[in-house]
Structure 1
Amino acid sequence: MELHQLLVVIDPTSGDSQPSLERAAWLAKRSNSAIELLLCEYNSALDGGYFFDGPAQKKARDSLLQNRTKWLEKLAQPLRDNGITVTTEARWGKPLHTMILQRISELKPDMVLRDATTHNLLQRLFFNNTSWQLIRQCPVPLWLVREGEWKGERICAAVDPVHSADTEALLDHKLVKSTLYLAQTLDMQADYMHSYAPLPRTMVFDSELVAAYDQYAERSAKQHRDAFEKLMVNYPVEKANRHLLEGFPEEVIPSFVEERGVDLLVMGAISRSNLENALIGNTAERVLEAVQTDLLVIKPTRPQP
């Protein structure tokens, strides 16, 4: 990972309070990155010709985007005064995630930052929430920013080296390398954790399996311990900063984040398209609901055509 260009998605409904912009400014100063502020606007009253004819409708849209651009320039000026290179882009269209992905394809930023929003299961099921869509589809690292005090002191990577969809742990190596880079560039203390959850004893009813449960649990622990050690062996990480924890990720990770005072949690997300994922969501999505800290979601590197 290297940071040269950041793309910040601005929420036009939040006024001058833009947590993702504040985080991007902090990040840009430490990484010497440029920033683009992207605002996507859409209003059904200016689409479809209900109240305006074609030319008047276009004029109203253009006027709205001009006002939005002036506002973006106002947001950008303090950053420019602080020595950060900032550009602005205001566009008309929907849905929001499609507009963002289109700009990512054009600008090719190294990272996208957006305010985090948490929504309920029904909204995820019908795919009408931008954050969930970006977690699944954003091709570059996605930094979801929480509101609240930002200390910028501790970063933690949550890895899963036994994931069946990542048999060579390529994504986990990417997570570790990215965390090492960010920790050094941003002067943050880094931890690396892996959590696993063996089948609970209470779910084993066969008498022969009950008798063998302890051996199963021991083998499971050894499998995860060996995989975690194999992943980390060639990285300059002290053992005190490696953490193997037993428990479901959506329970263990938020607890660890809170106890250690983690400011930025780094996780991987492997896209799926089946119904189970639509209903339940992947681990990154479930953890996002539970943690009260910033989340950096990193996808696997796409193979070259």
Structure 2
Amino acid sequence: MNLQQLLVVIEPQQTHQPALERALWLARKTRAKLHLLLVEYNATLEAGHLFDTAMQSRGRAAWLERGMEWLEELAAPVRAEGLELHLDVRWGRPLHKLVLEKVAELVPDLVLKATVHDSLLRRLLLTNSCWQLIRHCPAPLWLVHHAQWQGHSLCAALDPLHSADKPAALDHQLIRAASELSRQLGMHAHYLHSYSALPRTLMFDAELLANYDDYVARCAAQHREAFAQLIDQYPIATPNTHLIEGFAEEVLPRFVREQHVDLLLMGAIARGHLDTALIGHTAERILESVDCDLLVLKPEQKGSAEQQ
């Protein structure tokens, strides 16, 4: 995962900019170029019955000019560090649409956006724009949690049997990304796969129910073999691999908490052709239940040199 260009979504008029803070941490380690995107909008300036077209245009121009001045102030300390920085202020809504337009133009290596923080729940709360970017952003998407960042460890959530409806190549992308980020950023990498046999209470076949213990053993063996075959293709030390029995939506948040994971890598695919199509159900349940940053990867395009 070569980090050369980072697109950072700036929160309008917010003093605290978690996504920018994380991008700065990355840029200091990789010397990546930073592209800051500020999206401005005010519904009053869209009200045609209040302003004529010329006045609307002047109002938007003035609003964008003030936005650029504020962005320049925000960027001044970054430039003082000698980091390369590019600024862009745009008008419109919804936010994710403007971000996706910028992604199409820039083709960044990574998009960073802050999530909503709730100090009582202590978890990520994803806005609609976050969900839309998860579904539609073709570039890797780093969702920044507002919790204190340590930058010590990361974890790739793998699914070698593809029970979560993911293409096989996505696991290889996750492993390569985790390995490369570990090397570039000096973070300890974990590789985890969780599995769960069908509960006895949900068994639908009398023969399987009668041999339930054998079924559970065969299920465990199948996942153990698939996980080993996947991991054996890479130079990954055994202590960094984790095969854990249990539902992913329970195992991953607990593992993140117990191992003090700072960044969780997950794969996601859009399902269906509508804007409202959901990514995998397992991923959706997990995304808002972990207490760390999230890096969401989509399947690489066919023909990619890295795709296996």
Give the TM-score of the pair, scaled to structure 1. 0.91
Does the alignment pair 1:188 with 2:200? no
Q: Distance in 1 between matches of 2:166 and 2:147?
A: 34
Superposition deviation, residue 33 in structure 1: 0.2
Q: Distance in 1 between matches of 2:50 and 2:226?
A: 63
Contact between 1:284 and 1:297, CA under 8 Å: does it hold in 2? no
1:128-167 mapped onto 2 (5 Å cutoff): 129-163=128-162, 165-166=165-166
Which residue matches 1:39?
A: 38
Q: Distance in 1 between matches of 2:33 and 2:299?
A: 24
Amino acid at match of 1:12: P
Deviations 1:105-139 (A, max 9, x none): 001100000002389xxxxxxx9811111111110
Which residue matches 1:9?
A: 9
Does the alignment pair 1:244 with 2:248? no
Q: Distance in 1 between matches of 2:273 and 2:196?
A: 23
Which residue matches 2:252?
A: 253
How many correspondences in the alignment?
295
Which residue matches 1:303?
A: 302
Deviations 1:73-97 (A, max 9, x none): 1111111111211111000111111
Structure 2's unaligned 5+ residue stretches are: 119-125
1:1-305 mapped onto 2 (5 Å cutoff): 1-13=1-13, 15-117=14-116, 129-163=128-162, 165-166=165-166, 169-204=168-203, 206-273=205-272, 282-304=281-303
Q: Distance in 1 between matches of 2:159 and 2:223?
A: 9
Superposition deviation, residue 283 in structure 1: 2.5
Q: Distance in 2 between matches of 1:103 and 1:41?
A: 14
Superposition deviation, residue 196 in structure 1: 1.1
Contact between 1:7 and 1:35, CA under 8 Å: does it hold in 2? yes
Contact between 2:271 and 2:279, CA under 8 Å: does it hold in 1? no
Superposition deviation, residue 278 in structure 1: 5.1
Superposition deviation, residue 226 in structure 1: 1.1
Superposition deviation, residue 16 in structure 1: 1.6
Give the TM-score of the pair, scaled to structure 2. 0.90
Q: Distance in 2 between matches of 1:54 and 1:274?
A: 36
Superposition deviation, residue 187 in structure 1: 0.4
Q: Distance in 1 between matches of 2:61 and 2:295?
A: 35
Structure 1's unaligned 5+ residue stretches are: 120-126
RMSD between superposed Cα atoms in Å? 2.1
Q: Distance in 2 between matches of 1:266 and 1:304?
A: 23
Q: Secondary structure at the match of 1:29?
A: helix
Amino acid at match of 2:258: E
Give the share of equivalent positions with the same residue, in percent.
51
